[in-house]
Amino acid sequence: MHYTTQMDAARKGIITKQMAIVAEKENMNKEALKDLIAEGKIAIPANINHHSLDPHGVGQGLRTKVNVNLGISKDCCNIEVELEKVRTALSMQVESIMDLSSFGKTEEFRQRLVEMSPAVIGTVPVYDAVGFYDKELQDITVEEFLKVVEKHAQDGVDFMTVHAGLNRETVEVFKRNKRLNHIVSRGGSLLYAWMELNNRENPFFEYFDDLLDICEKYDVTLSLGDACRPGSINDATDASQVKELMVLGELALRAWKRNVQVIIEGPGHMDLKEIQANMLLEKKLCHGAPFYVLGPVVTDVAPGYDHITSAIGGAIAASHGADFLCYVTPAEHLRLPTLDDMKEGIIATKIAAHAADIAKGIKGAKEWDYQMSQARQELNWDKMFQLAIDPEKPRRYRAESAPEHEDSCTMCGKMCSMRNMNKVMQGKNVNILREDT
């Protein structure tokens, strides 16, 4: 039986090869997975032209996924440096990479990325429009915006962030409700500027059906961007953010009627106490669609450490229903991330995702921690390193500070609780000041 998208297949009762792979990875019943895809509560971003893809599912009942942002900019436009980051991110087993390139040979980088990457690939086409046409933002036409979207789709991009919820109504709410940090979304600010300069409706909202034509043709998952996400905790959960979220929920229903898969994007900077309510709002207003969050960053005062502020927020968000975490690096708000920045951001976000999976009761999540605890009790260092979320760092730390006794570390020495309890439980003597006999 013919189908156009993963959602179309699911609604026709077809289990695609991508569904079968995801079901096995997630230890989930194939029929249950298919039904959730049909309802829009799970998405499998899988462009028909992404031939190297090893698919992943995002949504209800699945492991929390991690996305890494990469790409060239005007100030840092070395493609080979970015491709080295790609190779490292893939070796760290991230599920998704977004190419946020905004200058230069974006097509070359995007095509090489899709060709080499088994991870899901995402883009923000509006970033590419200015460079693609070598035209000022104001002069880009609706047709040209849509042509960039189609080019990304043809190149094999699995999901695209499109800020279609920033329509004229949302803009009026934004203007009436002043913010400390205005619109901090890069894509959102570009579209807002285009709308104001041309006195026009958002082209992606006005021509949403044309956008869906492209997504359906290539099976591109539409990631409905949050142009009005808060850029400070002061602006969180305000009228602009909630108004846009309501529009995104309506757009999700329109996309699903066309069998186009949808992910909803969310905040942003946010007070800890608001996170749970925001997760509930998204799931209610957007009909259970998968939720993709940046952070949330839970304090504004830690530049250089925003991989930590976002990991705190991400763990809370995912434990209350967020499905997909966009990593944040220590370089957030400061510079294009280096390779080391990227690695720190990945690890911090993977920790947040796993902590949330434990809280959500995802199958197998606690088993990993059980095995680590068992290895610690056995003082089995090699096994601990193998099980670590980042094996390299603990191996290096132990090598840099070798203990006198192998069954301890340089923190506790022979006072190590694991060592001494093992001895006592085995009926052996505990010699702290003297050598064992």
Instruction: Tell me what the pLDDT averaged over the chain comes to.
Output: 95
Query: Taking 90 as the threshold, does the pLDDT of residue 74 lie above it?
Result: no
* pLDDT mean over 379-403: 94
What residues have CB less than 8 Å from 267, skipping those under 6 apart?
226, 229, 230, 236, 241, 278, 293, 294, 295, 296
Query: Taking 80 as the threshold, does the pLDDT of residue 44 lie above it?
Result: yes
Q: Copy the structure tokens of residue 220.
A: 């591109």
Query: Taking 70 as the threshold, does the pLDDT of residue 297 lie above it?
Result: yes
Q: Copy the structure tokens of residue 195.
A: 């709308």
Q: Copy the structure tokens of residue 3.
A: 């189908």
Q: Give residue 213's pLDDT.
A: 98
Enumerate the known binding-site residues for [4Fe-4S] cluster: 409, 412, 416
Q: Give residue 171's pLDDT.
A: 98
* pLDDT mean over 146-167: 98
Amino acid at 5: T
At residue 269, φ and ψ (nearest 5 deg) are -90, 140
Q: Give residue 206's pLDDT.
A: 98
Query: Taking 60 as the threshold, does the pLDDT of residue 437 lie above it?
Result: no
> Are 174 and 183 in contact, with CB atoms under 8 Å apart?
yes
Query: Taking 60 as the threshold, does the pLDDT of residue 57 lie above it?
Result: yes
Q: Which of 44, 51, 89, 37 is nearest to 67 (CA)?
A: 89
The CATH code for residues 35-360 is: 3.20.20.540
Residue 200: pLDDT band (50, 70, 90) is: very high
Enumerate the known binding-site residues for substrate: 69, 98, 127, 163, 185-187, 226-229, 265, 292
> Are 241 and 230 in contact, with CB atoms under 8 Å apart?
yes
- Angle made by CA atoms 118, 123, 126, in degrees to the nearest 5: 165
Residue 130: pLDDT band (50, 70, 90) is: confident
Q: Give residue 423's pLDDT.
A: 87
Q: Give residue 72's pLDDT.
A: 80
Q: Give residue 79's pLDDT.
A: 87
| Predicted TM-score of the model (pTM) | 0.95
| Boundaries of every domain in the chain | 35-360, 364-400, 402-437
> Are 130 and 166 in contact, with CB atoms under 8 Å apart?
no
Query: Taking 60 as the threshold, does the pLDDT of residue 127 lie above it?
Result: yes
Residue 410: pLDDT band (50, 70, 90) is: confident
Q: Give residue 408's pLDDT.
A: 82
Other CB atoms within 10 Å distance of the CB of residue 429? 9
Q: What span, in angstroms and rounded, lies between the C-alpha atoms of 201 and 260?
A: 23
Residue 414: pLDDT band (50, 70, 90) is: confident
* pLDDT mean over 222-227: 98
Q: What span, in angstroms and rounded, lies between the C-alpha atoms of 45 and 277?
A: 27
- Cα first-last separation, the chain: 74
Query: Taking 70 as the threshold, does the pLDDT of residue 400 lie above it?
Result: yes
* pLDDT mean over 384-398: 95
Residue 184: pLDDT band (50, 70, 90) is: very high
Sign, CA torsion 190/192/197/198: positive
HEC secondary structure over the chain: CCCCCHHHHHHCCCCCHHHHHHHHHHCCCHHHHHHHHHHCCEECCCCCCCCCCCCCCEECCCCCEEEEEECCCCCCCCHHHHHHHHHHHHHCCCCEEEECCCCCCHHHHHHHHHHHCCCEEEECHHHHHHHHHCCCHHHCCHHHHHHHHHHHHHCCCCEEEECCCCCHHHHHHHHHCCCCCCCCCHHHHHHHHHHHHHCCCCHHHHCHHHHHHHHHHHCCEEEECCCCCCCCHHHCCCHHHHHHHHHHHHHHHHHHHCCCCEEEEECCECCHHHHHHHHHHHHHHCCCCCEEEECCECCCCCCCCHHHHHHHHHHHHHHCCCCEEECCCCCCCCCCCCHHHHHHHHHHHHHHHHHHHHHHCCCCHHHHHHHHHHHHHCCCHHHHHHHCCCCHHHHHHHHHCCCCCCCCCCCCHHHCHHHHHHHHHCCCCCCCCCCCC
Q: Which of 350, 226, 235 is nearest to 300 (CA)?
A: 235
- Of residues 108 and 232, more confidence is placed in 232
Enumerate the known binding-site residues for Zn(2+): 269, 333
Query: Taking 90 as the threshold, does the pLDDT of residue 134 lie above it?
Result: no
Enumerate the known binding-site residues: 69, 98, 127, 163, 185-187, 226-229, 265, 269, 292, 333, 409, 412, 416
